[in-house]
Amino acid sequence: MAVSSNVRFRDVVMRGHIIDSLALPKAWGVIMDLGGNFNVTELEIGRTKDDQSYVRMQVIAPDARTLNQIIGALLRLGATLPDEQDVVLRPVEVAGVLPDGFYSTTNLPTEVRVGGRWIPVEDIEMDVAIVVDAADRAALAGPTSVSMASTGTATPIRAFCLPMDEVVPSQQVVVGHQGIRVTPPERARGKEVFGFMQSSVSSEKVKTLVIQTIAHLMTQVRAEGGKILFVLGPAVIHTGAAKHIVSLIRRGYIQVIFGGNAILTHDVEAALFGTSLGIDLKTGEPVEGGNHHHLRAVNTIRRRGSIAAAIEQGVLKEGIAFEAYHHGVDMVLAGSVRDDGPMPEVITDTMKAQRRMRAALKGVEMAVMVATMLHSIATGNLLPATVKTVAVDINPAVVTKLADRGTHQAAGLVTDAELFLRELDAALTLLESQEVAAKAAKAAAEAGIQSARRQAAATSMKS
């Protein structure tokens, strides 16, 4: 922080839904917890739910180090400095190693101040670095750790996220807290879709209402052209719920699927043998020798070389992967150390898998994570806070972990994978039929109007 060592007070400003989001009282708590104090010099509280609030306060600390800590914490809560300066940049010296003091991101919308202008950080995700780049690299050059305040040119400047292992020498990385602006999350107020799901993770809730809300949200996201991601664990297959995923894919509700070797293996096992982990999906009974079906399924696909080849050769004729192939769903499968095989599609290098997942997340506006902890946490790490996220698992610990992302866009549901997907499928069907009926009614009404008009026209012509 560029705070001179004998400064012990500083003005900060917070604006937005700082009451609803609890950002303001949290800020006050943080100041005092860290041993500081404050004077509120201006306070304006939004009157309506769309109004924003505004507070300006002077933060006081016993020493510069404490002040620094407090300011850092307040910036993460969305505070800004009225006397803000540009971000401080330092170059990467060794590939895969960040400069000391690097700023690590939150998953909230973030801007950095470069050359006096606020630039949004692209592809925001949690716990990565921010790289600032310019077409004219010279614009960013200069002595280590100087600000870019002098950049008055029209050089297009970009700021984007990079994980530690991807930075390369000479890239300019943001360090410290200066020149960074984070937009705090807003609490949904009133009847907004996630409103009633926020309160807490509970197994004692009216699930069908929640599921109808999710269905409604999905249709909204799709209507606006957003992509929907499903993260799927193998229990989706074991519980016989694959048919609902198939139905959702066919009807255009899934654009991206994340998972691991298990979901694909059991999906293929079900398609080839009618079993999942050796249990007959029609009768629920174990099939003799069935405990090796999953290995045979993997071997069969490995022999063909890929899922695509197996489909084209007529070996694989149904299931989630089959539908995903035919409907252009982007299926990214990340390997794990417990995998058997694995399937050729599985990305065994976990860092490569992360990169593929990041790429597939472009345009994703909603994520539904069902019955998988590993892949859901991995996905959660990569998602911006603005993506609407639903975590479904029968284990409350998993749901709590996933839903607790410091954002009001995440909702958790402790329930059964199969019954959840069955209800979701049904709820979407209902919404569609209502829409069709509404359209038909509208068309009929319009037809009626036109007919009336024609009649009127005819009549007027007559007269």
User: Taking CB under 8 A as the rule, does residue 54 contact a second copy?
Assistant: no
Minimum CB separation of residue 161 from a second copy in Å reads: 13
User: Taking CB under 8 A as the rule, does residue 295 contact a second copy?
Assistant: yes
User: Taking CB under 8 A as the rule, does residue 345 contact a second copy?
Assistant: no
CB of 247 or CB of 415, closer to a second copy: 415
User: Considering only CA atoms, which of 391, 426, 19 is closest in space to residue 212?
Assistant: 426
Minimum CB separation of residue 68 from a second copy in Å reads: 10
Residues within window 424-463 making contact with a second copy, judged by CB under 8 A: none
Element holding 109 (H helix, E strand): none
CB of 80 or CB of 265, closer to a second copy: 265
Separation of alpha carbons 287 and 123, rounded Å: 47
Token couple for 131: 């790289």
User: Taking CB under 8 A as the rule, does residue 168 contact a second copy?
Assistant: no
User: Taking CB under 8 A as the rule, does residue 52 contact a second copy?
Assistant: no
Question: Which residue do the tokens 């992302």 mark?
Answer: 405
User: Taking CB under 8 A as the rule, does residue 78 contact a second copy?
Assistant: no
CB of 119 or CB of 279, closer to a second copy: 279
Among 336, 345, 358, 431, binds a second copy (CB under 8 A): 336
CB of 134 or CB of 418, closer to a second copy: 418
Separation of alpha carbons 295 and 293, rounded Å: 5
Token couple for 153: 């040119």
Token couple for 342: 């694995």
Residues within window 95-114 making contact with a second copy, judged by CB under 8 A: 96-98, 102, 104
Antiparallel, parallel or unpaired: β 129-134 and 172-175:
antiparallel
User: Taking CB under 8 A as the rule, does residue 358 contact a second copy?
Assistant: no
Separation of alpha carbons 365 and 362, rounded Å: 9
Element holding 361 (H helix, E strand): none
Binding mask 257-276 for a second copy (x = CB under 8 A): --------------------
Minimum CB separation of residue 125 from a second copy in Å reads: 11
Count the Cβ atoms, other than its own, within 10 Å of residue 290: 19
Size of the site for a second copy (CB under 8 A): 105
User: Taking CB under 8 A as the rule, does residue 410 contact a second copy?
Assistant: no
Minimum CB separation of residue 253 from a second copy in Å reads: 20
Torsions phi, psi for 452 (to 5 deg): -60, -40
User: Considering only CA atoms, which of 181, 180, 177, 189 is closest in space to residue 52?
Assistant: 189
User: Taking CB under 8 A as the rule, does residue 20 contact a second copy?
Assistant: yes
Among 64, 141, 309, 377, binds a second copy (CB under 8 A): 377
Token couple for 45: 């509280």
Residues within window 114-143 making contact with a second copy, judged by CB under 8 A: 127
Minimum CB separation of residue 329 from a second copy in Å reads: 19
User: Taking CB under 8 A as the rule, does residue 73 contact a second copy?
Assistant: yes
Separation of alpha carbons 161 and 179, rounded Å: 16
Among 94, 359, 437, 444, binds a second copy (CB under 8 A): 94
Contact call for residues 126 and 107 (beta carbons, < 8 A) = yes
Count the Cβ atoms, other than its own, within 10 Å of residue 452: 10
- 207 three-state secondary structure: helix
